[in-house]
């Protein structure tokens, strides 16, 4: 039992050495298009709940520049690094691709699901940044349109998506979707074995 | 629903559930203002002093003011998210949730904490020198390289610990 486990572990460490550069490369290739998509989708999502729609999210280099059409040109615009929002695709992909046999048992399907969940978390993360900025940084306009409860709730959501989810999602998706392989790797019994 | 219940009755299912709960509690605690003031900020200042200690070994004239580490050449502010606490929580919650005896968890927690501390010091020193010699690379190195590496390091440490202690006894 110890030997196969050790062999699996050795394979995992070996594969991690190339899966990390592969994940980084994929991320670099898709980053410009993904930045544009995120900004576009976040703007549309915010505008869905506005009347008249006024949120603006535009991409400038790596930043999402956030503002409102109905404010003076010189009024507050926030530049927020999109890399900070979606860098966790790299460790998530690296961990998944490093698992020996990740593609077996509908592994590709699970990979698509994991990426979709990450994309949803990035999109919501950006939306909370936009909303928190509107709620706290636009002077009297913020005070008039957002109450203390809304500001606190948006602050909490921003924190949740900014730190806890950004840092833990790669691990949770890796362990959650590929628990068979992860269990084998760390020496837990297979998921089919219920507690007696 | 039945499928989920069946999964949660398995060892990996129970582990994942415990892990989620532990992470949820840990990050919720960290978000509380009193915890932030009395634990996170002092800890981050400690991390800044650690970084300064090692940078002085390399002959850098650095000083620390709260969470800012500065020298005439460059300055870095260490915020929540850069202090290594997230990596520590990922590792610590993973160890606590794993089905292993306490006597095996304790040394794991201690060694893991020290290991992540050292890794974070390497990160701070490397970022400081990136800022000194290649300031245009600082943002990429900070967000992209080191944040990814810190997550992978915490997960790798946990995998190593679990492989070593995830024995028949642990099940």
* Rounded distance between C-alpha atoms, residue B168 and residue B164, angstroms: 11
A-proximal residues of B, 136-165, CB under 8 Å:
139-140, 143-144, 147-148, 151-152, 154-156, 159, 162-163
CB-based contact A98:A15 (threshold 8 Å): yes
Q: Could you identify the residue written with the tokens 């020290």?
A: B114
Q: What residues of chain A lie within 8 A of the CB of B170, using their CB? A: 187
What is the ipTM for the molecules in this complex? Answer: 0.83
Q: Single out the residue of A108, A104, A124 nearest to residue A166, CA to CA.
A: A124
Residue B148 token pair = 């990814």
Question: Which of B22, B140, B159, B165 to mutate: most A Cβ within 10 Å?
Answer: B159
Assess whether the previous peptide bond of A49 is cis (omega < 30° from 0).
no
Q: What is the pLDDT along chain A (196 residues), one digit of tens a residue?
A: 555 667 777 888 899 999 999 999 999 999 999 999 999 999 999 999 888 888 999 999 889 999 888 877 666 788 888 998 999 999 999 999 999 888 887 889 999 999 999 999 999 999 999 999 999 988 888 889 899 999 999 998 998 898 889 988 998 899 888 988 888 888 776 655 544 3
Calculated CA dihedral for residues A48, A51, A54, A58, nearest 10 degrees: 0
* Rounded distance between C-alpha atoms, residue B17 and residue B141, angstroms: 34
Position B167 scores a pLDDT of: 56
CA distance from start to end of chain B: 25
* Rounded distance between C-alpha atoms, residue A52 and residue A47, angstroms: 8
* Rounded distance between C-alpha atoms, residue B102 and residue A129, angstroms: 41
Parallel, antiparallel, or unpaired for β B68-70 and B63-65? Answer: antiparallel
Q: Could you identify the residue written with the tokens 């306009």?
A: A141
Q: Cα distance from B6 to chain A (closest Cα, Å)?
A: 8
In chain B, domain spans: 3-170
Minimal Cβ distance to B90: which of A160, A168, A179: A168
Higher-confidence residue of A89 and B6: namely A89
- Cβ contact, residue pair B152, A20, below 8 Å: yes
Q: Which helix (H) or strand (E) holds B65?
A: strand B63-65
For A59, the 3-state DSSP assignment is strand
Chain-centroid distance of CA B23 in Å reads 13
- Would the pLDDT of B168 be above 50? no
Burial of A126 (0-12, 13-18, 19+ CB in 10 A): buried
Q: What residues of chain A lie within 8 A of the CB of B156, using their CB? A: 13, 16
- Cβ contact, residue pair B159, A179, below 8 Å: no
Burial of B161 (0-12, 13-18, 19+ CB in 10 A): buried
Nearest residue on chain A to B80, alpha-carbon basis: A163
pLDDT tens-digit series, residues B24-61 = 899 888 888 899 889 888 999 999 999 999 999 999 99
Chain-centroid distance of CA B48 in Å reads 14
For B164, the 3-state DSSP assignment is helix
Position A8 scores a pLDDT of: 76
- Cβ contact, residue pair B27, A163, below 8 Å: yes
- Cβ contact, residue pair B80, A163, below 8 Å: yes
CB-based contact A175:B19 (threshold 8 Å): yes
CA separation, residue A94 to residues A18, A78, A148, A185, B16 (Å): 8, 31, 41, 15, 20
pTM, whole model, 2 decimals? 0.87
Backbone angles phi and psi of B131, in degrees to 5: -65, -35
């Amino acid at each position: 039992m110890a030997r196969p486990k050790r062999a699996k572990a050795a394979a995992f460490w070996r594969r991690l050495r190339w899966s990390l550069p592969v994940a980084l490369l994929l991320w670099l290739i898709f980053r410009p298009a993904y930045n544009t998509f995120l900004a576009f989708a976040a703007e549309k999502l915010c505008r869905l709940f506005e009347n008249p729609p006024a949120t603006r999210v535009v991409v400038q280099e790596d930043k999402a520049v956030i503002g409102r059409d109905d404010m003076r040109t010189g009024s507050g615009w926030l530049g927020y690094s999109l890399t900070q929002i979606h860098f966790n695709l790299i460790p998530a992909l690296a961990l998944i691709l490093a698992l020996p046999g990740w593609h077996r048992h509908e592994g590709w399907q699970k990979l698509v699901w994991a990426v979709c969940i990450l994309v949803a978390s990035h999109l919501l993360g950006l939306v909370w940044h936009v909303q928190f900025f509107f709620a706290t940084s636009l002077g009297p306009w913020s005070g008039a349109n957002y109450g203390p409860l809304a500001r606190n709730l948006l602050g909490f959501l921003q924190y949740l998506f900014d730190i806890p989810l950004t840092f833990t999602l790669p691990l949770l998706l890796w362990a959650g979707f590929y628990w068979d392989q992860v269990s084998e790797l760390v020496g837990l019994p297979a998921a089919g074995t219920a507690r007696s | 629903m039945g499928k989920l219940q069946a999964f949660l009755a398995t060892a990996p299912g129970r582990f994942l559930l415990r892990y989620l709960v532990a992470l949820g509690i840990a990050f919720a605690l960290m978000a509380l203002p009193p915890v932030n003031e009395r634990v996170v900020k002092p800890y981050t200042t400690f991390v800044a002093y650690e970084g300064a200690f090692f940078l002085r070994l390399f002959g850098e004239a650095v000083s620390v003011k709260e969470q800012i580490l500065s020298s005439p050449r460059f300055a870095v502010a260490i915020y929540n998210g850069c202090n290594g606490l997230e990596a520590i929580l990922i590792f610590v919650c993973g160890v606590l949730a794993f089905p292993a005896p306490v006597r095996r968890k304790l040394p794991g927690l201690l060694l893991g904490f020290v290991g992540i501390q050292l890794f974070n010091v390497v990160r701070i020193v490397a970022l400081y020198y990136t800022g000194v010699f290649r300031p245009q690379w600082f943002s990429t190195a900070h967000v992209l390289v080191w944040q990814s590496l810190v997550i992978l390091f915490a997960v790798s440490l946990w995998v190593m610990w679990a492989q070593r202690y995830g024995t028949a006894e642990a099940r």
